[in-house]
Structure 1
């Protein structure tokens, strides 16, 4: 290989979920890949399900197909775990064989290349939830090729004051996640032997260090989500006094996202303030019917609009027509919608728990401790009232939100990732040189004796 300072780093990116036309983790995986591709010599390996959305884009992509047996198995998993309200703990447990086949086929396809030292770095990006191992680490260990993992995120429990919500989300089965750490072959080895782990939130950072005794020099914090540069907008939100203040909620309509908290908070405001507010709820899910009934019971039909599911690329129109973003989700890891809202200059009202509590600063919005549902409703009501009545504060927070969002631009995150690559390689080379020197001394001592 050429010296590193004369060429781009050669990276093998394992991005099982990588799709520019989907949302959540697949879109995040694609955005990481797309930006790293600009600054390194990248080969990406992903699942064949992503091929229709990636081919003909000029990227160097290797697609891993699945067997007919796994295809049939996955249909059975979906019918069991995704019927009605999705049982996520059960879904993740039953889905492991689907991932395991992908992981094994990646190992078979790239084992020899890694053993021959063809890559400077092997980096596994998705799945981002810390639930599965990576078999390719075995080849990395033998060839002294650094293996990076992450940003991994998740593992956070429901707040103590929301046991009823946790019950609705089948949280009683979350023990399966902890059980899987020790039953899934290679899981513990992946975390103990990875050259470096990127944690997507402070909670996950602390959790992984505690579980696997990872030293500080092998783990760092890199927030999971990012934002496209063209999503950012410079704003001047000086309001016309007689114009309604537009509140916005964007997310799946499921219990833990707490759209009901926003509706109830508005319902508790004085009618004079209610009449100054319009709330748009963008999203769909199992709670939609209950939320619509709540709006009807609280006589908020003229204040609340259900926009339904909106394609990812069109949600920006809702952000840019809004004034305040209300997203009191009580168990959020990534929370990309919060960064999107900040990028469009929206002061944010969020729960100070998990990832979103780290995105929003005190200058860019309000963070509420999740003590109980009643407390959360009361606090959301108070924060809405403050932002509706205080135009100057709303404007200043709007400006601060945009500035904060700039830190999450995908291209900037890729540069930070590249800095990690270089640091890990430097450490790896130092260890390798020390090992070689030690071997020479041992050899010399042996011959002298």
Structure 2
């Protein structure tokens, strides 16, 4: 099968979307005849060397955009340039008689960018798309740490209704992938041919099997970027409702403006002695944290995906999260307690209640940990995900033949 994969940045030495795109490309190149179209970022290893089993076509990413890394990461400033260059290359190839069975626009993940393959006569897939989740209304007053371009998500519903370029390119896609089922509703204004939920993240293998909750107390872990929506402040408040359980402790791994606010909240609530704020932690050390914790508490209330949930579940950790967005899809009732998102006060109390229940019911805690590993095996391993994706490609092509 000849597959052409498009993403602005693909890089095994990077983080975020670039690293995720690399994992998809690497695994796909083992299953199909893969051509990759992407930027080559200055100072990074050549993408052709990173993907030796694929044909790699790159264009240099403008250095100007890299001066504003966070801004560029959020808005994909170079996308129009890459889009035009890649379409020009594709037309030239097709004019010369070359064909591709299927095109796949893997990234950007945000559903704001028209699809490269629209109008070129190639069956194509877009996604997994994510984002566009709105902040629950009772949490808005506490999300002042959001960047202004993050808040621009409020215009996404308007674009899905009225942006003809975006709408046409999604309408004509043979398959739209979303990071979770909520994306089908989010894109409801666009008549899609077919939608499938598939988280963009995966794991290579499982951590060594172990039993959680074998010792006294509970060691809670929260991992996430230091912004309000990741729910760290809600976990801190929950600790204050567990004053009778002094052997319940919390470790936070993450960096950002929310961390100092969460620390001040802990001081105010007189629970700082039970919480360790580690700041930014290298990935290998984060994995070590999963291995020494008993319970992963991640009430991220505007989470489109939730890759850290897979990492925690890979290590056999039971989960407390929210029944909203990506976490609701990544987990199920066997491995997680999923809480409603109503108000900050209610969420903190619900987290505390869930922790207390698991503190008192160690058999349930252990069963949830085992269920986490089992769910990752069926849903989260890269091998499983790529096998499913290639199967979807074949279904698209079979549908075209009919």
Whether TM exceeds 0.5 here: the answer is yes
Distance 2:200 2:53 in 1: 23
Residue 258 of structure 1 corresponds to 231
User: Paired residue for 2:45, among 40, 44, 52?
Assistant: 52
1:410 pairs with one of 377, 382, 397: 382
Aligned residue number for residue 397 of structure 2: 425
Cα separation, 2, equivalents of 1:341 and 1:378: 23
Give the structure 1 partner of residue 203 of structure 2.
227
Mean CA deviation greater in 173-182 or 280-289: 173-182
Q: Distance in 2 between matches of 1:341 and 1:45?
A: 32
The RMSD of aligned alpha carbons is: 2.3
What is the 5 A alignment of 1:173-322?
Answer: 173-181=152-160, 186-208=165-187, 210-215=188-193, 218-229=194-205, 231-237=206-212, 239-241=214-216, 244-271=217-244, 273=245, 275-322=246-293
Alignment deviations for residues 229-262 of structure 1 (CA, whole Å, 9 cap, x no partner): 2x44322235133xx4211000011111120110
Change (3 A) 1:173 1:240: closer
TM-score, length-scaled by structure 1: 0.82
Label 1:418 to 1:73 Cα distance change in 2 as closer, same or farther (>3 A): closer
In the aligned structure 2, how far is the partner of 1:53 from the partner of 1:252? 29
TM-superposed deviation, 1:123: 0.8
Distance 1:49 1:149 in 2: 23
Unaligned runs of 5+ in 1: 1-8, 83-87, 431-449
3-state SS of the aligned residue for 2:36? strand
Rg (Cα) greater in structure: 1
Deviations 1:390-423 (A, max 9, x none): 2111111111111011121111100000001111
- Matches of 1:181 and 1:125 in 2, distance apart? 19
The alignment covers a number of residue pairs equal to 395
Name the counterpart of 1:136.
117
**Which stretches of structure 1, 4 residues or longer, exceed 4 Å deviation after superposition?**
179-185
Q: Deviations over 1:75-113 (max 9, x none)?
A: 4x669x59xxxxx9xx53xx4x52111111111222222
Q: Which structure dedicates a bigger proportion of its chain to helix?
A: 1
Conserved? CA contact 1:133–1:185, under 8 Å: no
Distance change >3 Å, CA 357–CA 181, structure 1 → 2: closer
CA distance in 2, matches of 1:72, 1:23: 20
Question: Residue 296 of structure 2 contacts residue 317 of structure 2 at CA under 8 Å; is this kept in 1?
Answer: yes
Structure 2 CA distance for partners of 1:15 and 1:296, relative to 1, 3 Å: same
> TM-score normalised to the size of structure 2?
0.91
Unaligned runs of 5+ in 2: none
Structure 1 residues 129 and 173: CA distance shift in structure 2, 3 A: closer
Name the CA distance, whole Å, in 1 between partners of 2:363 and 2:222: 22
Q: How far does residue 157 in structure 1 lie from its aligned partner after superposition? A: 1.4
Match 1:156 to one of 123, 127, 133 = 133
Rounded Cα–Cα distance in structure 1 between residues aligned with 2:102 and 2:384: 20
Q: Aligned pair in 2 of structure 1 residues 381, 53: CA closer, same or farther (>3 Å)?
A: farther
| 1:113 to 2:90 alignment | no
